[in-house]
Structure 1
Amino acid sequence: MEREEEEKKHFAVLIDADNISEKYASSIFNEIADYGYASYRRIYGNWAKGNGWKEDTLLENSINPIQQFNYTIGKNATDMAMVIDAMDILYSGKVDGFCLVTSDSDFTKLAMRLREEQKYVIGMGESKTPLALTKACNKFIHLDLISGEVEDKSTESVKVTGTGRRQKTSTVEEKQDSTVTPISEIEESIITFVQNNENKGKPTYLGEVGSRLCDKFIEFDARNYGYTKLVTLLKDKCPKLVIKQEGTSYQIELKEQTEPENLEKEIIAFLKRNGGKVDNLSLVLEQLKKKHPNFNLNDYGYSRISSFLRSFDKITVHGNALMLKETVHKK
């Protein structure tokens, strides 16, 4: 037990009070606990003017407030104080990493500098944080997404335009799509992981997938997509994957996909059994799903059955009817 504690890393948590809300206080320290100890806990701002952080919150979380006056108008003295302290702590050699709690892109260069010194840098901020800062960190955590603040504030609403038309405003999913990696890209990366493992003759487990996703995507976190568990996210959002439970662990495999050439042969055989023509395309789709329960048009790059069927050379689509091309020629 003592050895495990000794192996945990020590972090300096530096909070920009001018940029981060007090409501995230508990989330900040709950998150950092997964990585190690918050040895330094400092927050920077002009406490004479008030910045939304209460004394009780600071005491409850053992945060040391650093007073920084605004010496001149238009200059952010808080940023400079944080940078100076970060460099002092860096050269003291007492920490293994830093946690910069801010959404301000001005700290991008600081994050880069700390990483150059082989320090692990965790960034925490809201989803409005510029990409430059998120990419400069080893890991970036969107505080508003993991705490559900986006869902509370971004519920779908409707506004009436000048022409009297009703128009939807931005939704939670739209906001998430602009701040986190698209789920389709996550799925393709997992497929690559699984294929590489299969080529080496070994299975792919959920724990490995989670670790590799975090290494590849700095801001990856299942909570960013509205899920508390990675396995639930993959089951709901990644149709190309098959999740199999083995005791307390999960193994990930790729869903078997029938080759398009074989599907064409099946469709041709189905048409021949029906005189070379079917008057409703949905009957063809039903036949495919009956024989292949996991059949999904999206797996083949199509959203409509008509477009999918038009990709085959030996059959043709006319309106909602499907027929063999040889039948068309005979007519």
Structure 2
Amino acid sequence: MTSKKSAKLAVLIDADNAQSSIARQLLAEVGKYGEAHVKRAYGDWTNPQLKGWSDVLPRNSIEPIQQFAYTHGKNATDSAMIIDAMDLLSSDRFNGFCLVSSDSDFTPLVTRIRDSGLKVYGFGEHKTPKAFVSACDEFIFTEHLNHRSERKINPNEVAMSESHDPAHNASDSLLQNSTETTLHRDEWTRLSDVCEHLTTRHPDFSLSTRGYAKLSDLISDSPQFDIEERPSQRDKSPELFVRHRRTLAGTMKI
């Protein structure tokens, strides 16, 4: 089985639909999932609106793919990117794809790639339609990448600054619901079960944008949960179990 760090990835960027300012942070985030063996950006480079990419592409070794806008109102860039993705998929050289766009037109492409057994990591803005977000194995919102680019994030600062952020309040709710969904009768559940539920049901839940590398660290720092280590019944390694703290007050009914 290929490890996450050794995974060979193809990074395809819809330059018509992505900001050039996120390129460096984007590639740093991609590095958490594997190695970018192909980095391509698609657009009509004669368009002055893409001028911001001119310096970014060579600095980050991103190959520009020219696609003229042959017909007004038709997105030729999307078509070129989808065709290229299918060619790369058929080469059997990759373990996964990173698709950078906020356009739902790529949803069928994501489904096709995942049907072939490869991972798909999506990158886009909060305006990205839910269908595209949900289709990916994981989805990272690019606004958070830009916000975190200039300094090291203190998780406590993140928690304070995001207390009024609807997106992160939604993430807290997802974590809570995932814990409750996977609860055992004694009100404790394996952390691995919670992680699996989040990964499969909520690909837009991102640890990195919250300043954490591991789910166990996020839960340990949260006042909403209890977490403890127990001997494993499966092997010699200990297991982590978690429960929602309000169960102690008897307010949750299973």
* TM-score band, normalised by shorter chain: 0.7 to 0.9
Q: What's the secondary structure of 2:94's corresponding residue? A: coil
The corresponding residue for 2:83 is 84
Distance 1:208 1:227 in 2: 22
The corresponding residue for 1:72 is 71
TM-aligned CA deviation for residue 7 of structure 1: 7.6
The corresponding residue for 1:280 is none
CA distance 1:14–1:172, change in 2 (3 Å): farther
CA distance 1:71–1:33, change in 2 (3 Å): same
TM-aligned CA deviation for residue 63 of structure 1: 0.5
2:174 equivalent to 1:185? yes
The corresponding residue for 2:47 is 49
2:214 equivalent to 1:216? no
Deviations 1:272-317 (A, max 9, x none): xxxxxxxxxxxxxxxxxxxxxxxxxxx469xxxxxxxxxxxxxxxx
- Which runs of 5 or more structure 2 residues have no equivalent in the other structure? 149-161, 231-237
Distance 2:2 2:82 in 1: 31
Q: CA RMSD in A?
A: 3.4
1:76 alignment partner AA:
N
Give the length in aligned residue pairs: 229
Give TM-score, length-normalised by structure 1. 0.59
Deviations 1:230-274 (A, max 9, x none): 4564356552x214589xx99444346255xxxxxxxxxxxxxxx
Match of 2:14 among 16, 35, 41: 16
**Structure whose alpha-carbon radius of gyration is higher:** 1
- Kindly report which structure 2 residues correspond to 1:143-292, keeping only aligned pairs within 5 A, or say none: 143-148=142-147, 173=164, 175-176=166-167, 181-193=170-182, 195=184, 204=190, 209-210=194-195, 212-224=197-209, 226-228=210-212, 230=215, 233-234=218-219, 239=224, 241-243=225-227, 251-254=240-243, 255=245, 257-259=248-250
Give TM-score, length-normalised by structure 2. 0.74
Q: Is this contact kept in 2: 1:187–1:238, CA < 8 A?
A: no
Distance 1:257 1:172 in 2: 24
1:125 alignment partner AA:
G
Once the two structures are overlaid, the 10-residue window that deviates more, 115-124 or 4-13, is 4-13
Q: Is this contact kept in 2: 1:71–1:77, CA < 8 A?
A: yes
Distance 2:203 2:91 in 1: 27
Q: Is this contact kept in 2: 1:146–1:223, CA < 8 A?
A: no
Distance 1:238 1:185 in 2: 16
CA distance 1:222–1:5, change in 2 (3 Å): closer
**Seq. identity, %:** 35
Q: Is this contact kept in 2: 1:183–1:237, CA < 8 A?
A: no
- Which runs of 5 or more structure 1 residues have no equivalent in the other structure? 150-170, 260-298, 302-331
Distance 1:67 1:215 in 2: 35
Q: Is this contact kept in 2: 1:101–1:125, CA < 8 A?
A: yes
2:176 alignment partner AA:
E
